[in-house]
Amino acid sequence: MNLINKIILLITIIFIISCDDMILNLDYELPFEEKLVIHGFYENTEQFIRVRISKSIPALQEPTLENTLVDDAECFIKFDNTEVKLIHTTDSYYMNELPIEFEIDKEYELNVKWKNKTAKVINRIPKLPEVISIDTNTVSNRYGTYLQVNLNVKSRDTGFLFSSHLFTNELSLNRIFSHTLLDNKNREYIFNILEIDYLYLSGDYMERYLDYEFSIGIASLDFNNYYSTRMEGYSGNDIFGNNGINVEGNIKGDAIGYWYGYQTWSGLIRDYFQKDK
């Protein structure tokens, strides 16, 4: 084989090698730290609450009910000088053995111990803002012109104020979750509770909505940390599939997750509506 043939053979081999797949499976152990995963809410109208306590597993495994189950954790809710035990019921859900009268503006502490892991969170149900009045204004955007019904409130506490507000137009009647942050006490806020498309309006349009019952709710201000990151924590099947942002919560210790208190309240538009404004 002369030199030219050898070079051609070498080039051919190299070209064939170059055609290999450039995405490969890596035999790589990702670092793993087992954590408790705690999810739960409580409200002032419920005496028995459910808290889900499970555990995280290595990222390369698929979480199931069985492999994330934690059924032997010690779980307590502490308030004043009282301690109420939560017991495992089913599927990693824990419930309090004795009824608890959850009071507004009182701190409740959730404690969880499992193996050598501990988790703790202190939370309270904030006070609802004072409803001063309800008025309307007109807004226009590229989708149309809408009548907005606004709740004028004065905060008595800081908190995450939310509502499932009604949005109506010719074709549909939708409920949209909306929220605002009350980050100062004793300050006035405007909160939209109802939107009506002008195309849908005729006659004394507000008359038919005066008996509309709106409802608002409030959770602690740090609920916004969870709410604004609740869609994170995903990893898709490609190079740009994750942005590395975790779902945030308020649990401290060897755990991830959240436990928030909230309250809701309902009222009639008629009772607060100021027609002339």
Partner 1 sequence: MNYELGKSWELGLAWIFGSGQAFTLPTSAYHDNISGYNQVRYNFSERNGVRAPSYHRLDLNFMHKFEMYNIPWVFSINIFNAYSRRNPFALYLGYDYSTFGEETKTVKQITLFPIIPTFGLSFEF
Residues found near partner 1 in the complex (CB under 8 A): 7, 11, 14-15, 17-18, 20, 22-26, 28, 30-35, 37, 39-41, 52, 54-63, 65, 68, 233-235, 237-239, 241-242, 244-247, 256
Q: How far is the CB of 235 from partner 1 (least distance, A)?
A: 5
- Residue 253 gets the label, from left (phi > 0), alpha (psi -120 to 50) or beta, of left
Q: 120: which strand partners? A: 111, 252
Backbone angles phi, psi at 160, to 5 degrees: -105, 105
Question: Which one, 256 or 269, has the nearer CB to partner 1?
Answer: 256
Question: Which one, 40 or 261, has the nearer CB to partner 1?
Answer: 40
Question: Which one, 1 or 239, has the nearer CB to partner 1?
Answer: 239
Q: How far is the CB of 56 from partner 1 (least distance, A)?
A: 4
CB 5 within 8 A of CB 224: no
| Residue entry with tokens 């010719």 | 170
CA distances from 52 to 73, 87, 150 (A): 11, 11, 36
Question: Which one, 150 or 164, has the nearer CB to partner 1?
Answer: 164
Question: Which one, 61 or 82, has the nearer CB to partner 1?
Answer: 61
Question: Which one, 40 or 159, has the nearer CB to partner 1?
Answer: 40
Q: SS in 3 state form for 76-133?
A: EEEECCEEEEEEEEECCEEEECCCCCCCECCEEEEEEEECCEEEEEEEEECCCCEEEE
What is the spatial distance between Cα 228 and Cα 245, in angstroms, rounded to a whole number?
A: 11
Q: How far is the CB of 117 from partner 1 (least distance, A)?
A: 13
Question: Which one, 1 or 16, has the nearer CB to partner 1?
Answer: 16
Q: SS in 3 state form for 240-272?
A: CCCCCCCCCCCCEECEEEEEEEEEEEEEEHHHC
Amino acid present at 255: A
Q: How far is the CB of 127 from partner 1 (least distance, A)?
A: 25
What is the spatial distance between Cα 262 and Cα 249, in angstroms, rounded to a whole number?
A: 15
- 3-state secondary structure (DSSP) of residue 213: strand
Q: How far is the CB of 33 from partner 1 (least distance, A)?
A: 6
Q: How far is the CB of 93 from partner 1 (least distance, A)?
A: 10
Q: How far is the CB of 200 from partner 1 (least distance, A)?
A: 31
In 3D space, the residue among 89, 105, 103, 100 whose CA is nearest the CA of residue 51 turns out to be 89
